[in-house]
Amino acid sequence: MSHLTIRPGRSLRGQPAVPGDKSISHRALLLGALASGTSRISGFLPSEDCRATLHCLRALGIGIEETNATTLLVQGRGLWGFSAPAEPLNCGGSGTTMRLLSGILAGQSMTAVLSGNTQLSRRPMARIVDPLRLMGAKAADTEGHAPLIFEGGGLRGLDYTLPMASAQVKSALLLAGLYATGSTTVREPAPSRDHTERMLRAMGCQVQVVAAADDGGPQEGVANSITVLPCQPSSLPEIVVPGDVSSAAFLLSAAVLLAGSDISLVGVGVNPTRSGALDVLRAMGARIRMDHRRENGGEPAADLSVQAAGLRATEIGGDLIPRLIDELPLLALVATQAQGVTLIRDAAELRVTETDRIDGTVAELRKMGAEIDARPDGFVIRGPTPLAGATVHSHGDHRLAMTLAVAGLLASGETRVLDADCISDSFPGFAPTLRQLGAEVR
């Protein structure tokens, strides 16, 4: 079990590289495999989670050449070109791998099993399997969890309203819709990350997104409807994966909180369905600039720069939550240094991620002196509160591990983050990046 040791007190300065977007890396592999022809992926995130998707696709007969760690050539075999796997497909700890592959396997004329590690096997999967069954899939879960078993295709279109906003469930149903007879429509209660829709459209598929207010007036509990028609995606000559805004948020937040800091990040994804953390940091008083906006494959990117600033409390909830669900433990830490009481609500989904991120965040930040309380659906944080170095535990959660490392940069005395190797799930090279910026991390 590895650990990180962090010493406080140094400002951060520089222009570090941000690893490729995790969500887009998964989808680039999956849609590249579904396409007819070769797709080149640059900026790929070589994390444990994304490599789980890569390994599963290879087990399904997809040729993937690794030119280097971040550049791949995917030999797409079309919708029906997958081979039956010889053994269960191991998704490791990646919920994205399991849920999105479920949508593809539901349409295949073969038997396949999806399994995962202990953490993934605790996460809810009936939310995927149940609507796929409504589409006609022969699919089974294990008391609502993995392993998942798929036996043959024969899908029909579906009009389905998600009980909660979920980009993974939405994406699974849209991918299954490529195989279905007729159209497939997914209605979501709040806008969730839309990388799948953007990439499908860039690959020539018909995807229609309609806001409820533009479709004959507001519909109770529905923000958007997304419709896809059966389609064979075309390969893209190159898929450029932007920097991951969730990973960038840890560096930006550290710079905002450490006096004298001034950092710049080049080519970060700023998809509005993902950039809620930037909006919240600005609302709290952070000075974040966004320059050189551009777009590739339908995905917007920009260069970000930030300087240290004083912060004020805020309230985070409602439709904002799906746009920053991964960054909420980090924002809870930021709130410990803001003036006033910050409330984070409507985020009960945090209890069924890699770990219970609500209880884990509260337990570990309290060890460092934070005034933070858990709610069933979030946190209450009082600030500003000085933090003290402590020995804390990641609970095997990469985002909590990075949150605690940032906390260590602010604290008085030394902080040790136990079980820190999980950081490689989303940000390989996190500790060297902090050292590059001037932090004392080992």
Residue 79: predicted pLDDT: 97
- Give this prediction's pTM: 0.93
Residues written for the chain: 442
Q: What's the pLDDT score for residue 312?
A: 97
Which tokens belong to 36?
């007819």
Question: Alpha-carbon dihedral of residues 342, 347, 351, 352, nearest 10 degrees?
Answer: -150
Whether 326 sits among the annotated catalytic residues: the reply is yes
Catalytic residue among 49, 194, 303, 326: 326
Q: Phi/psi class of residue 282: alpha, beta or left (left: φ > 0; alpha: ψ in -120 to 50)?
A: alpha
Integer Cα distance of 308 and 433 in angstroms: 18
Phi, psi at 133, each rounded to 5° = -65, -40
Spell out the domains of the chain, with CATH numbers in brackets.
Answer: 3-19+242-441 (3.65.10.10), 22-240 (3.65.10.10)
Taking only the tens of pLDDT, the chain with its 442 residues reads 589 999 997 899 999 999 999 999 999 999 999 999 999 999 999 999 999 999 999 999 999 999 999 999 999 999 999 999 999 999 999 999 999 999 999 999 999 999 999 999 999 999 999 999 999 999 999 999 999 999 987 999 999 999 999 999 999 999 999 999 999 999 999 999 999 999 999 999 999 999 876 554 445 567 889 999 999 999 888 999 999 999 999 999 999 999 999 999 999 999 999 999 999 999 999 999 999 999 887 899 999 999 888 999 999 999 999 999 999 999 999 999 999 999 999 999 999 888 899 999 999 999 999 999 999 999 999 999 999 999 999 999 999 999 999 999 999 999 999 999 999 989 999 999 999 999 999 9
Give the residue among 390, 409, 273 at the shortest CA–CA distance from 330: 409
Count CB neighbours of 341 within 10 A: 14
Give the H/E segment covering residue 219: none
In the prediction, which pLDDT does 217 show? 46
Q: Which residues of 198-236 are buried (b: 16+ CB within 10 A; e: fewer)?
A: bbbbbbebebeeeebeeeeeeeeebbbbbbbebbebebb
Token pair listed for 442: 């080992």
